[in-house]
Structures are given as C-alpha cells and as structure tokens.
Amino acid sequence: MKFLHTGDWHVGKTLRGRHRDDEYAAALAEVLDIARREQVDCLLVAGDVFDSAAPSAEAERLVYEFFPELWSAGIPAVVIGGNHDHPRRLAAVSGLLEVVGVHVRGEPLLPEAGGVLEVPSRDGRETALVAALPWVPERRVVQFDDLLQSQEEPFKQYADRTAKMLDYLSRPFRADTVNIVLAHILIDGAVIGPGGGERPLHLGQAYAVKSERLPATAQYIALGHVHRSQKVVTAAPTHYAGSLLQLDFGEREQTKSVVVAEVHPGLPAQVQHVPLSAGRELRDVSGNLAELESLADDVGDAFLRVFVRADGAVANLAEQVRAILPNAVDVRCMRQDERPQEGQQTLLAMGPDELFATFHHQARGHQAPEAVLDLFRRLYEEEALAAS
C-alpha cells in the first residue's frame, strides 16, 4: 500500500495580519495532484488542520472542499486533530466526512472504539491498520488511563503516558497487515526551527516522547507537530512531514514537502519526501533605505522581514520601506553596527496562549504554572467555539 503523509496545514494562519488563503489553496491542490500521480491508497493528515480552534469560514471552505476532490480520486483519508484544532469542532463534521471516506479522530479513542482504523488498498489485496493518536492535552492523559481501567501504577509524566497510549493503540497490529501509527506528538531529538510556527508552550521537554518508546511493531510512523520536514531515528521508520507553507520567518529556509511511503506486510517501508512548490518564500533582508532600493528587483513575490539600518529613529519607517518593498510584512529598525537577531518574535506572531504566557511573566515576574496555562487554553477554546 502507498500512503501520502502530510500535516500541520494550519489553514487560516495569517502572516503579520496578511491572509494567505490563495497559498493554502495552491498547496492543497498540489497535495491532491501528488496523491493522484502517486496513486496512493490513503492520505494521512497528522494534525493541525486549522490554525485556530475557531477557524474562519474561508479556512473551513478550503479544507472541506479539498476532501470531496480527494474522494473523487478514489483516495480515503485518516485525519487527526492537533493542538491548534478544536476536537469537538472536528467531531461535529466527522459524520459528514465519513461519507466521502475521511475518517476524523479529534480525541484519543481505544482501539475497539475507533482508535485503530482498517483501510483497504485500492485493489483490496492488502489492509492497513492505522493507530490514530491526536494531540492529547494534559488533562486527557489521565482520562485515557481511566479508559484503560489499568491496574498498573499510573505514569507520572505526560510523555510517559503518551508513550503508553501509543503502545496500547499498536497492540492490534498483525503480521498480515500494514501497520501504521499516525500521531500528533513531539519526539525527543526532533529538530525545531527557532521562531517557527509551532507553539512553544507545547514544545517543552515534558511533552517530548523518547524515540525508543515508539512502537517497534509499526512499519511506518507518521508524525505531526514539528514544522521542519525530517526523519526521526527510531526502531521503525518515523517521519515528520512538516508544514505545507513557510508559516513564519523561523521557517524561511525550510523546504516544504509531503512524504510518500510504500508499505507492505512484513516488509520495510520505502519512504521519500516529495518537495512542494506552492506558497510564497519568506526572506530576511537588511540595509539602509538606499540599499533596500537595490533589492526591489531581486525579492520577487517573497514576504519580507526587513531590518533597516539607521543612526536613530526614522519617522514613518514602515511606510517608507513598503513604498520600496510592498511585501515587507515586518519592518524593524536597528543600529548601523547591529546584526539581525534570530528568534525575535512580535506580538502579532504569537498565538493567544503565548500572549497570555508573556503577559503573566511580565505582570507576575515568573512563568505561569502549567495548570494556569491549561485552564486558559480550555477557557479560550470554549469561548472561541461559543463565538463561532
């Protein structure tokens, strides 16, 4: 069987207030073209379909028009929720999407309750078992332990409990099936780009599952959550597909791709990363105003973060820069002898929970406890869902 693995679409995410709907549409069309060309048996979407718990109507239109086109090509899909998605919002459309062969899992389920899905190949000769683990908030880890009704001593750490879920979900794997894990998690050792689109609150060490804890019985492990496309060294072939677009300037040098994996029962997976060409490039440029004028013909349609060298404050600097470089979405002034600093992040680039964490640190002088952050996330998601 052949799978196309993608994820971290973040449809609806803006760049410093600029909408990128046309780029998302082009990227999804390219994914569809690759799936058709490769004649894949199933599409795997590893979470963060949307960028917000309450996506815009346009973001939902882009996603929900994509899946019927996929189905018209004879390709089913398994989709899991990520930490940016609202699980109940995904659940609300899951029944409709089943009609077009899209199996959505917004929250973790036991294998017998839908946590492991059977997907037949196009020719009906092979069957895949897909163990689906969407993003699991801290509070749900404990609830999953309760679901198992286990007599074992509960794990004390988030990562250990997540590994326990993966182990449990992979138990139905058989020698005569194609065995796939689809999960939205962080693996210890994964390379994360500085200043990228991942939420820092969900990338701490407490969230990182040790690579040796991943199920060795899986033939391919399809991961989402990290935006840099990469292979993870584990007992089973394990890959992050990465995001569809360069989502923020921390991703500006990343080549975006999807993964095509061919897997047959009892045989090693054959894996290739297929580059994506859709989406505008993100670039850093620097210089004084005169030097920036010489760059105008070289930057194409790239979105720009511009570092302007000046001896002091310059009135209407952003307007002057955009008159030269219309696609300058972020303009910063720096001293003549100063170098651009990696990892700088403006408030416009932060998500709601990151803004709250920053405010708490500035107001209280210390990091917000995880319980407070979790409560904020839950209240924000509930309010966003009610407002939609």
Query: Does residue 344 sit within a domain?
Result: no
Q: Please, what is the end-to-end C-alpha distance for the chain in angstroms?
A: 39
Q: Give the residues across from 183 on adjacent strands.
A: 133, 223
Domain total in the chain:
3
pLDDT, tens digit (0-9, with 9 covering 90-100), for 208-223:
899 999 999 999 999 9
Query: Does residue 133 sit within a domain?
Result: yes
Q: Are residues 243 and 136 in the same domain?
A: yes
Report the pLDDT value the prediction gives residue 351, as an integer from 0 to 100: 58
Q: Are residues 287 and 374 in the same domain?
A: no
pLDDT, tens digit (0-9, with 9 covering 90-100), for 40-90:
999 999 999 999 999 999 999 999 999 999 999 999 999 999 999 999 999
Q: Are residues 132 and 164 in the same domain?
A: yes
CATH number at residue 134: 3.60.21.10
Alpha-carbon distance of 23 to 9, in angstroms, equals 11
Q: Which domain holds residue 371?
A: 350-387
Q: Are residues 224 and 316 in the same domain?
A: no
How far is C-alpha 281 from the geometric centre of its chain's CA atoms? 18
Q: Give the residues across from 105 on adjacent strands.
A: 80
- Residues of the chain where predicted confidence (pLDDT) is lower than 70: 138-156, 193-206, 335-355, 357-358, 360-371, 373-374, 377-378, 380-388
Query: Does residue 342 sit within a domain?
Result: no
Q: Are residues 60 and 78 in the same domain?
A: yes
Instruction: Decide: helix, strand or coil at residue 255.
Output: coil
Report the pLDDT value the prediction gives residue 366, as an integer from 0 to 100: 56
Query: Does residue 121 sit within a domain?
Result: yes
